[in-house]
Amino acid sequence: MSNCDSLNNEQQEAVMYTEGPLLILAGAGSGKTRVLTHRIAYLIEEKEVKPWNIMAITFTNKAAKEMRERVNAIVDFGAESVWVSTFHSSCVRILRRYIDRIGYENNFTIYDTEDSKSVMKEVLRRLDLDPKVYKDRAMLAKISSAKNELILPEEYERNAARWEEKKVAQVYHEYQAQLRKNNALDFDDLLVRTVELFRAEPEVLDFYQERFRYIMIDEYQDTNTVQFEFVRLLASKYKNLCVVGDDDQSIYKFRGANIGNILGFERVFPEAKVIKLEQNYRSTQNILNSANEVISNNQGRKAKRLWTENETGELIHFRQFQNGFEEAEFIVGDISKKVRTEGCQYKDFAILYRTNAQSRLFEEKFLIANIPYKLVGGVNFYARKEIKDLLAYLKTVDNALDDLAVQRIINVPRRGIGAATISRVEEHAREQGISFYDALLEADYIPGVGRSLAKIKAFTLFIQSLRSQEGYLGVKELLEKIIEETGYVKELEAEDTEEARGRIENIDELLSKVADYEESAEQSTLSGFLQEVALVADIDSVEEGSDYVLMMTLHSAKGLEFDHVYMAGMEDGIFPSYLTITGGDSSELEEERRLCYVGITRARKSLTMTSAMQRMIRGETQYNKTSRFVREIPRELVDLGRDAITARNYSKPSTFGGAELPGRAYSAATFKPREFTVKKAESLEYGVGDTVRHMKFGVGEVQDITEGGKDYEVTVDFERVGVKRMFASFAKLKKL
Ligand SMILES: Nc1ncnc2c1ncn2[C@@H]1O[C@H](COP(=O)(O)OP(=O)(O)OP(=O)(O)O)[C@@H](O)[C@H]1O
Ligand SMILES: [Mg+2]
């Protein structure tokens, strides 16, 4: 078999062991994902398995897309009928076909976090619960955990011992009732309802068991109870289930991921074969050794050690800075230098951090340096107001049972339907047990609607007319009609502000997405489009082949690889996070360490870790020590640069990363976040050779001034801290 040539013996064995349960347990970069794609090819080409009998589950849509491309590349025929998708997408496809058997309509809506929150707020209000005690987010988190554990409201109620738990059970119950009434499912429901369907309808389960005779799951270590149950049910007939995972990369415990699923696989499937892969093909020896050393500090793990034939490679670079601004300046400068002098492309780089909020400083520096970057996470395209508004129109046309969508647009753009009228309609809907939209249709009979009646009629007439055209108009034409007839864009044009123009651009972007969808879908329908949109995880906004630096959280980076990786904010209190250090629960710290292991092992050629001695967090200055994870990397594997601060700290472990170094104690009062302005001074009041003063670094001599596109870059040799390079507009140097 030709495509097995590029696999080692263990990988080949894993590819060819096709019948019966198989667990591939292996460390990062050992080719687990590669084995899965080759297995699909092998099943089709050598075993003559029908492509539609194969299902492969990945963790993100991006991973699914990558796997699909890899499969397409090695399978000549039929690759497109293999199901390669995430758990959520698979469930959506199954439910669209059969959910009517458990009391929903097949054109159900999928609620995102915002939508769920609105429903929760309404539920809490209706149950008259004090929003200070019963917070919507906390309630949703509890319900989500319950769903991940496959605990339904009835069971939750039975288990509830304390009074508060009983309240939560009631909230859970009401929330679920409201979703059902709206014919809507939240993300967790997608799995829970599918399992419910399989349990209630043996015929449906049997259909899918026959359909998916070969099932494969990537990133198995992060499956939770409900996902496991979904797989167990599907695989229980033919038992051709191959799961691949790495217990050292389990990082979603907070979302209910159950590491027991990997450790207990052999208990559920006693006949399971286990294959281990130990050769890493991704990273240099130095990177791999660092990862091995860090993870060896975890107690509860299956011992394994990866090795590689790759070159030794660069040392791990570690740099410590005074603050987050300098850290960002360094990383952005380093990337820019490597692109200029080493022939790298921007897409070879990724900056990884613990929390999304850490991205802002980098964004600002990238903007100044005019370097293309892409933020994974942050404000998702589909979370923007104008996009949500227009999608709400489409959802209303598609499924008018979706109260949230209808309520969102009833007055957008303004139709002069007052809040009092809307709450009368809501009341009527509740009393009659009908949807908000149906209540609008009965507005004639609702007392007190009076003057708004004509406006409501105009709205429902508009929606009805769109519906009647849905059959023959394409999704794009439908959307254009909505934009045209509501005057949505016209209103923005009239506004004529920067913000309004940005919104119009986003709307144009939405139209191109619809066009893309219509071109690529086998059969394009409004429901199909909305379903696709509802499932776009943040990572999917990354377009293939575009050249930009990627920034994302460590969690989002799972399964990906980059030539050059920067791990920023390596400070105790940030990573590992403050709570895991102070919480006294060592399992939480171990989860953070696994996250660090995931981060390190994303790098192919170089890894740079950075930290700041002081950092603004929610408007307050914090002083953090260098992360213990950095200190867990053996000294001989680390390059500390020429920066005096870093080197001195590293050689003295007792004061390592401490902020109380002689001559360097900055009080919170003297450190203020600098205003961010991209403004180039017309001219500078100082020149090379002049003596200047910096607010923090003190007195120094200007050595060099270079003109950048947007600002001057000034190099100053300070008496106290040595040579620094900085942007003139930020440095605010005073000539002495
Ligand atoms: N036998 C091999 N020969 C050459 N390259 C390989 C081989 N096996 C894997 N690789 C390469 O090594 C890299 C890592 O492989 P892959 O992404 O499949 O690893 P993984 O175990 O899934 O990693 P992770 O745990 O991070 O998900 C990829 O670039 C892959 O193409
Ligand atoms: Mg992988």
225 or 531, which is more confident?
A: 225
E strands within 629-676? Answer: 638-639
The CATH classification number of 9-98+192-279 equals 3.40.50.300
Annotated active-site residue 464? The verdict is no
Which candidate in 33, 225, 227, 421 is catalytic?
Answer: 33
Q: How many other β-carbons are positioned within 10 Å of the β-carbon of residue 625?
A: 18
- Does residue 33 have a known ligand-binding role? yes
User: Which residues lie at CB < 5 A from ion ligand 2?
Assistant: 32-33, 559
Give bridge partners of residue 375 from the DSSP assignment: 551
Summarize pLDDT for 251-272 with one digit per residue, the tens: 888 777 777 788 778 888 999 9
Residues 330-344, mean pLDDT to the nearest whole number: 95
Least confident of 128-132, 337-341, 402-406: 128-132
Which candidate in 513, 558, 594, 602 is catalytic?
Answer: 602
- CA–CA distance, 474 with 464 (Å, rounded to integer): 16
255 or 43, which is more confident?
A: 43
C-alpha closest to that of 181 among 258, 123, 98: 123
Q: What is the structure's pLDDT at 709?
A: 55
User: Would you identify the CATH topology of the domain 109-182?
Assistant: Arc Repressor Mutant, subunit A (1.10.10)
- Residues near ligand 1 (Cβ within 6 A): 6-8, 11, 26, 28-34, 246, 249, 281-282, 559, 561, 601
Give bridge partners of residue 552 from the DSSP assignment: 352
The overall pTM is greater than 0.80: no
CATH class of 381-539: mainly alpha
Summarize pLDDT for 632-667 with one digit per residue, the tens: 999 999 999 875 455 545 543 333 333 322 222 223
Query: Helix, strand, coil: what percent of the chain each, to 5?
Result: 50, 15, 30
Q: What is the structure's pLDDT at 62?
A: 76
Residues 523-542, mean pLDDT to the nearest whole number: 74
Annotated active-site residue 219? The verdict is yes
Question: Does domain 316-376+542-639 match CATH 3.40.50.300?
Answer: yes
Which candidate in 32, 193, 513, 615 is catalytic?
Answer: 32
Query: Whose Cα sits closest to atom 23 in ligand 1?
Result: 29
- CA–CA distance, 239 with 22 (Å, rounded to integer): 9
C-alpha closest to that of 236 among 275, 190, 198: 198
Average pLDDT of the chain, as a whole number: 86
Annotated active-site residue 249? The verdict is yes
- Does residue 29 have a known ligand-binding role? yes
Least confident of 249-263, 346-360, 436-450: 249-263
Summarize pLDDT for 312-328 with one digit per residue, the tens: 999 999 999 999 989 99
Annotated active-site residue 32? The verdict is yes
ipTM entry: 0.99
558 Cα to the center of ligand 1, angstroms: 13
- Does residue 619 have a known ligand-binding role? no
Tokens of 180: 């059902």
624 Cα to the center of ligand 1, angstroms: 36
Least confident of 404-408, 489-493, 713-717: 713-717
Q: Is 5 exposed, middle or buried (0-12, 13-18, 19+ CB in 10 A)?
A: exposed
